[in-house]
Amino acid sequence: MKTLIAGASGLVGSALVAALRGSGHEVHRLVRRAAAAPDEIPWHPERRELEPPHIHGMDAVINLSGENVGAGRWTAARRERILRSRIDATATLVKAMAAAARKPSVFLSASAVGFYGDRGDEVLTEAAGVGQGFLPEVCLAWETHAEGASRSGVRTVLTRFGVVLAPNGGALAKMLPLFRAGFGGRLGHGRQWMSWIAIEDVVGALMHCLTNPVCRGPINVVAPDPVTNADFTAALARVLQRPAVLPAPAWALRAVLGRMADEALLASTRPVPEKLLKSGYLFRQPDLDEALGSVLRLAAVIG
Distance CA 218, CA 279 (A): 13
Supply the pLDDT for residue 303.
52
Distance CA 291, CA 221 (A): 15
pTM, to two decimals: 0.95
- pLDDT of 302 strictly over 80: no
117 found inside a domain: yes
176 found inside a domain: no
User: In this predicted model, what pLDDT tens digit does every residue of 219-236 receive, in sequence order?
Assistant: 999 999 999 999 999 999
For residue 230, the tally of other CB atoms under 10 A from its CB is 19
Supply the pLDDT for residue 2.
96
Please report, for the domain that includes residue 275, its CATH number: 3.40.50.720
User: In this predicted model, what pLDDT tens digit does every residue of 5-14 receive, in sequence order?
Assistant: 999 999 999 9
252 found inside a domain: no
Distance CA 115, CA 135 (A): 6
Give the pLDDT mean for 93-119. 96
11 found inside a domain: yes
- Under DSSP, the state recorded for 129 is P
Share of the chain above pLDDT 90, in %: 81
Q: Would you place residue 169 in the very low, low, confident or very high pLDDT band (cuts 50, 70, 90)?
A: confident
Q: How many domains does the chain have?
A: 1
54 found inside a domain: yes
The mean predicted confidence, pLDDT, of the chain is 94
- pLDDT of 70 strictly over 70: yes
Distance CA 30, CA 42 (A): 6
161 found inside a domain: yes
- pLDDT of 47 strictly over 90: yes
Supply the pLDDT for residue 174.
85
133 found inside a domain: yes
Q: Which domain holds residue 139?
A: 2-169+195-223+270-285
